[in-house]
Amino acid sequence: MKLTVVGSGDAFGSGGRLQSCYHLEAQGRELLLDCGATAIIGMQRLGLDPDRVSTIAISHLHGDHFAGLVWFLLHAHYVTRRTVPLRIVGPATIEERFAAAAEALFPQSTRIDRRFEMTFDTHVEGVGREIDGFRITPFEVSHPSGAPPYALRVEAGGKVLAFSGDTKWVDTLLKAAAGADLYISECYGYDAEAGHHMAWRDIAQNLDRLGARKVMLTHMGGGMLSHVGRVSDPRVVFAEDGLRLDV
Ligand SMILES: [Zn+2]
Ligand SMILES: [Zn+2]
């Protein structure tokens, strides 16, 4: 499985980073994990073709994680004239939240005469779903966003990649990350209480319990970005927009 970090930023653009979006490729299939508002910009920068993405899995319904679906739709319709189906899987009410965002930003955009099928599915806690070569299993975490938020475990090509989404520390993350080849963890803060997010201190305390081979820190706020030099655990790597990694 190949990972390309399209966007590794938080909701505030800290460090000039784009919003949450991870591109995965396995056995010729391509998937996006999260689709923040800047996803199409990031894909254009990196030469990734949105038409090759058959599935988009959304962790939770905050704009920096799902709003890019609006631009994904417009790009597919007006620029590439997409014909291949697109499957989107996310928290309950994702279809309504997407439609509300699309209509607020581009009135009538949900009524355009699409040439491709766009379907929405809803995560079911702990139940793996096979979509076009990827097995996606959601685990509920804690991060108020109008619908249940999830960490996502993605299996493909014999590899396991887990993603925390946004959340404060909850033990459910252990289930999502168990034995993962790569666990991508949000790490908004460094050592201070980070509200509905995690700080490095929360992750450091749980690194052994997580049992992932490698941990990638992402969604870093300004406080964390200025402290990355203080993290020296050999299991830990830092996300950066454009970073490519063989999982
Ligand atoms: Zn976020
Ligand atoms: Zn969030």
pLDDT tens by residue, 31-78: 999 999 999 999 999 999 999 999 999 999 999 999 999 999 999 999
User: What distance lies between CA 122 and its chain's CA centroid?
Assistant: 15
How many A from CA of 81 to the centre of ligand 2?
31
For residues 146 and 152, what is the distance between their CA atoms, to the nearest angstrom? 18
How many A from CA of 54 to the centre of ligand 1?
23
For residues 206 and 53, what is the distance between their CA atoms, to the nearest angstrom? 33
SS3 73: helix
Q: In this structure, what is the dihedral angle of CA atoms 183, 189, 194, 196, given to the nearest 10 degrees?
A: -40
Among 43-52, 187-196, 233-242, name the one with the lowest average pLDDT. 187-196
How many A from CA of 16 to the centre of ligand 1?
14
User: Would you state the structure tokens that stand for residue 52, as one six-digit string?
Assistant: 């090759």
SS3 55: strand
Say yes or no to pLDDT of 193 above 90.
no
Nearest ligand to residue 64 Cα: 1
pTM listed for this prediction: 0.98
SS3 167: coil
Q: What pLDDT does 208 receive? A: 95
Say yes or no to pLDDT of 192 above 90.
no
Q: How far is the first Cα of the chain from the last one, in angstroms, to the nearest whole number?
A: 5
How many A from CA of 63 to the centre of ligand 1?
8
Collect residues with CB below 5 Å from ion ligand 2.
62, 166
